[in-house]
Each structure stands twice: as structure tokens, then as C-alpha cells.
Structure 1
Amino acid sequence: MFAKCKLALLTYYYEILVRFSLFSETLNKFLLKIKINKLAKSTRLYRNLHKTVAIILVAFILIISATGALLAWKSELYLKPATHKITTKNHTLVSLETIEKNAIAYVDSLQLSTLIDRIDYRPKKGIAKIRFDEHFTELQINCYTGKVVSVKQRTDTIIEKIHDGSIVDYFIKNDASIFKLLYSTILALGLIFISISGIILWINPKKIKKIKTTNNQ
């Protein structure tokens, strides 16, 4: 009688252990399924966002890449005027005021804006390069005679403005460069997001595969 009771008790405990083991296994599978579904849902969301942002930015990325390559090779592609060589350097240098005055007079004769953006004064080379604020003309003036020796268009400046988005500010005459700031900020944030979401899209499938492999072992 005692042996039968003992056997019945052991059988009862065994059934409890089996049921607990089955419950634990079922619960574990359920939790793993939730985890996998959560990762899969997250992956789908990031994939859609990654695709949408990439489609929006792709044209701008191509523009930046193309203009960046052109700017890197601007000297070799002759996109900027070559510096005029001054052979005679035995005279006294004319004043910067004279160079500015002559540049304004010359560009005024071309019926262009006389508002100077910068003067690149190179006394060692005997040349001064004058660039203007409202057009892309570059004058090169002999620092010894004050005469204009070169009149060219700064194609590289146009490309630079396209590259950083300031070309829009140039045409709408916005000195605050608001479009340039917005363009650069949005593009930078977009590229950061694409990079991070790309990493997530690469990692998440590996996590899901690892979870499934561990569960099947």
C-alpha cells in the first residue's frame, strides 16, 4: 500500500514537472515570437523610412557628388581662370585703392554690378584677383601697372554655389543664406539617418536569425 502511494506521488510530481516544462517551453517560444515580431516590425519600419528618405535625397546626393568631383579637379579641368603671369616686377606696386578703383571702372564699362566681394592681393606674384558679389566675373589686375590683364568667368564659383545650395540664395538675393543653411542641415540629417537605418537593416536580420537558431538547438 505504501509503495503504491509512493509511486502515485512520484507520478503526480513527474506530471507536474512535465507540465511545468511544457508550460515553460511554450512561454519561452511565445516570448521569442514576440521578440522576433518586434524586430521584424522594426525592420519593416526602418526599411520603409530608409527607402523614402533615400528616394528624396538621391537627386541631391548625385548633385553633391558630381559637383564635388568637379571642384576636386577644377584646376585640371580649367574651371577657374589661370593666374596671369607677370614678367616685369621692377616697378613700384600700385596701391590697393588704385586696384579697386580700376576694377570698378572696368566692370562698370561692361555694365555689370561694381559691388566687390573680395580682392585676392598677391604682391609676390604681381597680380590681384577681384571677384564680385552679384556676378561671376573675375578680373586680374597687374599690381605694378594697375591695368586689367585678364577677364574671365569663375565657373568653379558657380559649381561651389550649386554644391552647397547657396545658388538659390544668390538668385533670390538673400544675404542671410537661409536656403544654404536649411539645405545643408536637412541633407546632413538625412544622410545620418540613412547611415544609421542602413546599419539597423543589416543588424536586425542577423539578430532574428540568431534567435531562431538558438531556439531550434
Structure 2
Amino acid sequence: MLTYYYEILIDFSLFSETLNKFLLKIKINKLAKSTRLYRKLHKTIAIVLVLFILLISITGALLAWKKELYLQPPTSKITHNNKTLVPLEKIEQNAIAYIDSLQLSTTINRIDYRPTKGIAKVRFEDHFTELQINCYTGKIVSVKQRTDTIIEMIHDGSILDFLIKNDASVFKLFYSSIIALGLIFISVSGIILWINPKKIKKIKSTDNQ
């Protein structure tokens, strides 16, 4: 009788061991399958986005060093000697008159008014010219191109919206969203591709014990 129960116990133990190995094998196969899928998607998305990632990285580095590389026009130094500031309307009129003489669009994008420094920077909507105007005399002291603005537009994708005159910034939103989602997926899938092989190795080592 004891022998009978002993044999049953052995059979149950063997069955349990076989079942455990079978379940571990299923788990390994699932991990391996998901790893192959993530590897394929990771590789495909990385290949599609690699040029855009390089573009964003290069333009981002240039923007970080824009002052050192003189991509942004330096601010002109003005000596005021307690002079009276000219009205902002006068600065606007002088900027429009000068740009009109160059046969460029006179639509102003913004005026960066800095009375403490005695300078006003005027930027335009349809081109990258920057005028720096003396706030005390109203005279134009600098005419430069905003190269950093061009690089910034390339960086965030708004350059195409600018070229096709699209005020809704549709391409910028689409471009930024796709790149962001792609980078998030590459980051997450990269972590999964690093973790899954370790999990498989751990399961196999447990199975061999």
C-alpha cells in the first residue's frame, strides 16, 4: 500500500515538474515573441526617424550656441546720456519706411522694446530681417538676418508652415507630435528589449535548477 502511494506521489511530482516546464516554456515563447515584435518595430521606427532625429539634434545644438556662433544678431550698445525716448509709434514708422525702401514686406511680427538698453528690435512676419533702432534718436543702427529664427523653424518643423503661409501651424503640430511619439516608443521599446532577454535568462536558469 505504501509503495502504491509512493508511486502516485512520484507520478504527481513528475507531472507537476512537467507542467511547470511546459508553463515556463510558454512564458519564454511569449517573451521571445514580444521581443522579436518590439525589435522589429524599434528598428523600423528608428530607421524612419533617424534623419529627423539628427536634424533636431544638430539644430538644437546650434540654437544652444546661437550667440557664441553669431547666429543671433548681437544687441547694439547705445549711450543715452539722459536723452528722451522717442515714441514707440515713431520707431514703428521708421522701421516700416526702411523695410519698404528695401522692397520687403512691412508687416511687423514683433517689436522687442528695451528702453533700459536704449534699443528696439523689430522683426517682420514674412522675412527674417531684424532692425535695431536707437530708442533715443529713432535711427536704425543695425540691419541683420535672424539666422537663429530659420534654424528654430527647421528645428520645430514650422519652416514649412512659413513657406506655404499656413497660420494654423498644422505641419508644426503634426511634425512635433510624430517625432515625440516616435522617440517615446523607441525609448520604451529599447528598455523592453533590454529587460526581456534578462527575464528569459532568469527563467531558463530557474528551470535548470
Q: Is TM (by shorter chain) over 0.5?
A: yes
The 5 A counterparts of 1:110-129 are: 110-129=102-121
The 5 A counterparts of 1:177-192 are: 177-192=169-184
1:65 pairs with 57, 82, 100, which one?
Answer: 57
- Give the TM-score normalised by the residue count of structure 2: 0.97
Structure 2: where are the runs of 5+ without partners? Answer: none
Max radius of gyration: which structure?
1
Q: Is the 8 A contact 1:74 1:80 kept in 2?
A: yes
Structure 1: where are the runs of 5+ without partners? Answer: 1-8
Q: CA deviation digits over 1:136-164, x for unaligned, max 9? A: 00001111111111110000000000011
Q: Is the 8 A contact 1:121 1:127 kept in 2?
A: yes
* Over 3 Å off, 4+ runs: none
Cα distance, 1:125 vs structure 2: 1.1
Q: Is the 8 A contact 1:39 1:204 kept in 2?
A: yes
1:170 pairs with 158, 162, 180, which one?
Answer: 162
Determine if the alignment matches structure 1 residue 80 to structure 2 residue 69.
no
Q: CA deviation digits over 1:130-189, x for unaligned, max 9? A: 000100000011111111111100000000000111001000111111111111111111
Aligned positions, number: 209
Cα distance, 1:72 vs structure 2: 0.6
Q: CA deviation digits over 1:75-124, x for unaligned, max 9? A: 11000111111124332111000000110010011010000000001111
Cα distance, 1:18 vs structure 2: 1.7
Residue 203 of structure 2 corresponds to: 211
Aligned mates of 2:33, 2:153 — CA distance in 1: 42
Aligned mates of 1:19, 1:74 — CA distance in 2: 76
Identity %: 82
Determine if the alignment matches structure 1 residue 161 to structure 2 residue 153.
yes
Aligned to 2:142, what secondary structure does the other structure show?
strand
The 5 A counterparts of 1:29-40 are: 29-40=21-32
2:126 pairs with 113, 121, 134, which one?
Answer: 134
Counterpart of 1:138 in structure 2: which amino acid? E
Aligned to 2:121, what secondary structure does the other structure show?
strand
Cα distance, 1:196 vs structure 2: 0.8
Q: Is the 8 A contact 1:126 1:143 kept in 2?
A: yes
Determine if the alignment matches structure 1 residue 102 to structure 2 residue 94.
yes
Residue 200 of structure 1 corresponds to: 192
Residue 150 of structure 1 corresponds to: 142
Aligned mates of 1:124, 1:167 — CA distance in 2: 33
Cα distance, 1:22 vs structure 2: 1.3
Aligned mates of 1:101, 1:117 — CA distance in 2: 14
Aligned mates of 1:46, 1:27 — CA distance in 2: 29
- Identify the range of structure 1 (13-22 vs 141-150) with the bigger mean alpha-carbon deviation: 13-22
Cα distance, 1:21 vs structure 2: 1.4
Aligned to 1:124, what secondary structure does the other structure show?
coil
